[in-house]
Structure 1
Amino acid sequence: MGVIEMEPPTPDDVPAIHVVGEHRPGHHVRGAWHAVARLLAEAGVEVVFGLPDDDLDALGALHAVGVRLVVCRDQRNAVFMATGYALRSGALGVALVGKGPAVTNTVTGLLEAASSGAPVLLLSGGTAAERRGSGAFQELDQQAVVAPLVKSATRVEHPDRVAPAVRRAVLVATSGATGPVYVELPDHLLKVDVPVPPPAPPVERPASVPAPGDSAALDVLRNAQRPIVLVGGGMRHRGAGGAVERFAERVGAALSCTASGRGVVDESSVRFIGLAGLYASDRAKALWDDTDCVVVLGSRLEETATYGWPAALGTTVPVVQVNVDPAGVATQYAGPVVLGDGADVCAAWLEQVVDSAPVEWSKRVDEAHHGLRADHRRELADLAAKPGLHVVEVLAALDAELPADRVLVQENGLQDMWSYSFPRFECAHGAGSVVPSEQTSLGFGAAAAIGVKAASGDRPVVAFVGDGAFGLFDADLPTAAALGSGLLYVVLRNGGYGWLHSQLGPHNEALAGTAFVDRDAVTARAPHLRGVHQVTVTKESLRADVADAWRRSQDGEVVVLNVPARLEDAMFADHELGGAFPVAD
């Protein structure tokens, strides 16, 4: 739960706050939003996502300092976009909304940002101090609404507190275990003089203290014969130095990742065996069943990442957890805990461990990696001979036609789950994918793609989404077009909420009259919009359509590839969580 912060009382009462032009030491600006805009520019913010309040003061203030406001149609999408920007860039994502219902519309986005550990700053308007409790227009105790979902929630009451509150929010969002923060700027601060003191010296962030040579974690590592290294989302933007791969090579470990940890390690490495838990292949599961040590870097070990783990893990088999945040440690697993940055700890361990795993384990790891690739080649050959277009073939076309540094932004539904399966989709080192958190907020990926694109420069960004998620987002399709930097949406159209429909099944005959999909809508298209090109792909046109989409997106167009999808083309044969066998027919 976040901390609700009430700004301390000052000698100035509320009427005095409205006196403009009073002489005070230091530089002043007119109006809280102009102060905030300067503070954002000072923090290196280049883009803000949102829908400003009726007065539009914030819009003018951001424009004056050269910070771009991406105007959204939906406040929830604005927070999704800011989250996508933060996850992709590693920098602060900023969302801006009005007050009252505008704030309640952000709650789902804040839930996703909190679960993803995304450094997001939500700025909102608020009811003036002198009008609180009077039934004022859109009056709401906004702090109480958002506090459970953010690291800190602050309502600024006095102009002298604007700069300290914003600077502190930026520091809290981007430090330690990163996450969302909230700052409310009530209406009584709109037209007052606000001091903006010079910034303090930059915050120093020293590297983690190396693990001592006699640590319990090192004792486990030195004795491990069949280790696996699992990389989580907390390692985003920490894999560039290659310390994790060098450490895994030194101890002979297999490399795996969570969905949010993709792109941290090199998936072309023969040590990589794909995702852990729900999305693990049978070949990888055989290694998980036999491991005698798991090293977890930057993961909270949520349910999806540990689904199907053998019972011995965390009981007789030690799980070594490395995390910057004690609250991120899964204490149900036995094994040493190291509080520190995963990349720094791996670099320190490299100096203190020796080659330990036997040749037989390394050989099994290599065979699993190469076996997965061979399985995928056979699968594609089999699907090519079958009628109709399959989702796995769509992923293969994206892989073939788009540059290797593409970024995939994903949803988590019945058929877009294929993209979580390695090597059906492979992340280039440092490019990776942006995925929903364990909350899997519907529509997150479709909206987050706009923020991801804003953070990705010339890199291709592909949003791989179902039509149910896309339908929740499409109010902001014009926002994607207005961005002007090109974006590719691959929309898997099965007629609605395919995952829910799959759960009806024969065992729910009493619900046979219920439908979550409209099969007649499978070939539907997004609304016609200027700057948006769309096409319905077929098996025969797929490669050409993807190649054309990439060319158009390079020219700044938003392209929507509508892919008719059959409900049977699902990753899990029994359509239940944890179904064992991928199927395509």
Structure 2
Amino acid sequence: MTAVTPAPDDAPAAPALRGCWDTVARTLADAGVRMVLGLPSDDPGLLDAATAVPELRVGVIGDQRIAACAAAGYATAARQPVVLALNSGPSFANAMAGLLEASSLSLPVVVITTRVPAEDIGRGAFQYLDQRRMVESLAGWTHLVDTPDQLVWAVRRAVELAVSDGPCLTVLEIADDVTARDVEQAPAAGPVRRPRSVPPSAELDAAAAALRAARRPVVIAGGGTRWADTGRLGTLADLLGGPVFTTASGRGALDEHHRRAHGLVGLYTTPPAHDLLDDADTLLVLGSRMEETARMGWRSWRDAQVIRADARPAAFSEAGPVAQPLLGDVGLTIDALTDRLAADPPRPDPDWTARQEHVRAAQLQHTTADFADSPVRAVLRAAQRELGTRITLVQENGLHDIWTYHFPLLRLGPDTTVVCPGEQTMMGFGLGAAVGAALARPDRPTLLVTGDSAFRMSVGALDVLRRLDLGVITVVLDNQGFGWPRRLRAADPTGPHVSTTWEAAAPAEHTAEVFGGWGTVVHDATALDEAMGRAAEHALKGRFSVLRVPVPDTDVPLGIRAAGY
């Protein structure tokens, strides 16, 4: 008979063990993640484990492509990291279009996916895909977890890098033999935090001196301001006496009711604001890559003095020369420059201020439109009247819905959240992104403006809206076809051309009702006001609405015409 000697009371307890997915879910919650999106896998996986963690919400999305767009929408609206749960093979590949957009937008999206058994790779493995090679050009970091001891470290690092390195897309692949094993439970380490730093004092002093000497300064705020506190940007602009423009993803950096706000830059600039951009002698660029669409239609980005603040070292060589690079957190940099200029204020040129006032007055003429002349403008004005500024605006990048980018047709406030595609402008991004945005901000209406072709491409998202009780208001601008291809082909009437017409067998409002929502078609101003009111009522009850608005090919946004398209 063998006696079992009891362990002394002060003996260290054996480490607790958890299943792989339990460990992943718990580590994500400890790191500060609050949302996991995806489609249930064949075997219980991350979504299943996440449902048992009180801090985590789980969004079951029936299509990985839509789920990836929803992840982008959630990360943008919540300003938090989000996890997308995938599996090797078609699941991962189906999400790629949405991941392309998330990468373009520099969003903190963490992809956690599986890998098939190592012994079968190269031997006809079922649903094997070289996922990391497929996504390596998009992701800031990819890693394969092939031993259990790496798991907690790798999950936490994926979240840390997603939040702090840009932010950016990160991808974690977990080997099949790891998913089947228990993993030692690690102590909670607390939520990850994005490191913040201030540029050196000497560089800030030099930048402040250059701004003080500027006669025609212009401020451009980009997507990097989304992750910073830019509350003093208006004060800085007033000290400089310069106008503020934003990129599409930087919208929200400044309340658009501020007297220095002049809308968007480049393709989305509302005339005659191009004149201010062209005549600038100094540009203060905040958290922007100055991508191609931001550079369209004006010249001074090539030859004006550029002072550029960004948290990413790579940003300074992306578009044109930079006279004064300021590496650090954009919000802290705004504060530091504001303090320096307040202590020794510049003397703004009164002529430059007068020109800004003239431009803002001229921009206002584009805000009014009769429904018969411009259904799109009439719809956007009606939406703003009914919903106000405390909304989440989700945008596409089709020919007609680019009107949503034009200030002051839509004048957004400090309480407006904007979700837009990046430079990839994936067709169909909007419906999926609206799912994520509505999950992130259930306290306010979500308004999506999209085209008929983009709507059809992601129509399955309507079933997600119904299932999750998300009262998204979707405006479908229906030109019965493909707007951009049609317009570009019209510039070259010589044939042959493939048809750009697509008349739907089931109009959008009928499709909405099939999926359990409410839909209507809007042909005039009277019907418009009634429809927008009813949609707002349905939104409060968690029922989605689709308003189809037939639009003529001539209802083309200002920036498109100004760019010569």
TM-score under structure 2 length normalisation: 0.92
Q: Deviations over 1:480-534 (max 9, x none)?
A: 111213111111111131111111115242124x112225669554253353111
Aligned match for 1:362, one of 353, 377, 380: 353
SS in 2 for 1:91: coil
How far did residue 43 of structure 1 move?
A: 2.4
Match of 1:71 in 2: 60
AA partner of residue 555 (structure 1):
K
Match of 1:3 in 2: none
Asked if 1:562 corresponds to 2:548, the answer is yes
Asked if 1:289 corresponds to 2:278, the answer is yes
Give the 3 Å change call, closer, same or farther, for CA 87–524 of structure 1 in structure 2.
closer
The correspondence of residues 64-463 of structure 1 with structure 2, limited to 5 A, is 64-66=52-54, 67-200=56-189, 207-209=196-198, 211-213=200-202, 215-239=205-229, 242-310=231-299, 312-315=300-303, 317-329=304-316, 330-353=318-341, 354-373=345-364, 375-377=365-367, 379-380=368-369, 383-384=370-371, 387=372, 390-463=375-448
Instruction: Output the CA distance in 1 between the equivalents of 2:319 and 2:124.
Output: 47
Match of 1:544 in 2: 530
Percent of residue pairs bearing the same amino acid type: 35
Q: Report if the CA contact (8 A) 2:428-2:458 is conserved.
A: yes
Match of 1:42 in 2: 30
Total equivalences in the alignment: 546
Q: Deviations over 1:442-473 (max 9, x none)?
A: 11122101101111121111111111111111
How far did residue 261 of structure 1 move?
A: 0.8
How far did residue 76 of structure 1 move?
A: 1.6
Structure 1: gaps of 5 or more residues:
1-22, 581-585
Match of 1:9 in 2: none
Give the 3 Å change call, closer, same or farther, for CA 429–151 of structure 1 in structure 2.
same
AA partner of residue 234 (structure 1):
G
Q: Report if the CA contact (8 A) 1:27-1:195 is conserved.
A: yes
Deviates more, 1:229-238 or 1:356-365: 356-365
Q: Report if the CA contact (8 A) 1:493-1:522 is conserved.
A: no
Instruction: Output the CA distance in 1 between the equivalents of 2:322 and 2:171.
Output: 36
Q: Report if the CA contact (8 A) 1:211-1:349 is conserved.
A: no
Q: Deviations over 1:162-200 (max 9, x none)?
A: 111100100010003101101112222233111121133
Q: Report if the CA contact (8 A) 2:397-2:425 is conserved.
A: yes
Instruction: Output the CA distance in 1 between the equivalents of 2:239 and 2:269.
Output: 24
Asked if 1:517 corresponds to 2:505, the answer is no
Structure 2: gaps of 5 or more residues:
1-11
Match of 1:477 in 2: 462
Instruction: Output the CA distance in 2 between the equivalents of 1:99 and 1:141.
Output: 8
Instruction: Output the CA distance in 2 between the equivalents of 1:104 and 1:462.
Output: 29
Q: Report if the CA contact (8 A) 2:198-2:327 is conserved.
A: no
Give the 3 Å change call, closer, same or farther, for CA 190–368 of structure 1 in structure 2.
same
SS in 1 for 2:297: coil
Give the 3 Å change call, closer, same or farther, for CA 463–545 of structure 1 in structure 2.
same
Instruction: Output the CA distance in 2 between the equivalents of 1:25 and 1:326.
Output: 45
Instruction: Output the CA distance in 2 between the equivalents of 1:232 and 1:150.
Output: 20
AA partner of residue 414 (structure 2):
H
Instruction: Output the CA distance in 2 between the equivalents of 1:207 and 1:357.
Output: 31
Give the 3 Å change call, closer, same or farther, for CA 376–193 of structure 1 in structure 2.
same
Alignment RMSD, CA only? 2.2
AA partner of residue 329 (structure 2):
D
How far did residue 398 of structure 1 move?
A: 0.4
SS in 2 for 1:352: helix
Instruction: Output the CA distance in 1 between the equivalents of 2:491 and 2:131.
Output: 45
Q: Report if the CA contact (8 A) 1:52-1:98 is conserved.
A: no
SS in 2 for 1:479: helix
AA partner of residue 144 (structure 1):
R
AA partner of residue 26 (structure 1):
P
Instruction: Output the CA distance in 2 between the equivalents of 1:108 and 1:519.
Output: 25
Deviates more, 1:360-369 or 1:289-298: 360-369
Q: Deviations over 1:360-408 (max 9, x none)?
A: 21222123223322x135x42xx25xx3761000000001000321111
Q: Report if the CA contact (8 A) 1:155-1:183 is conserved.
A: yes
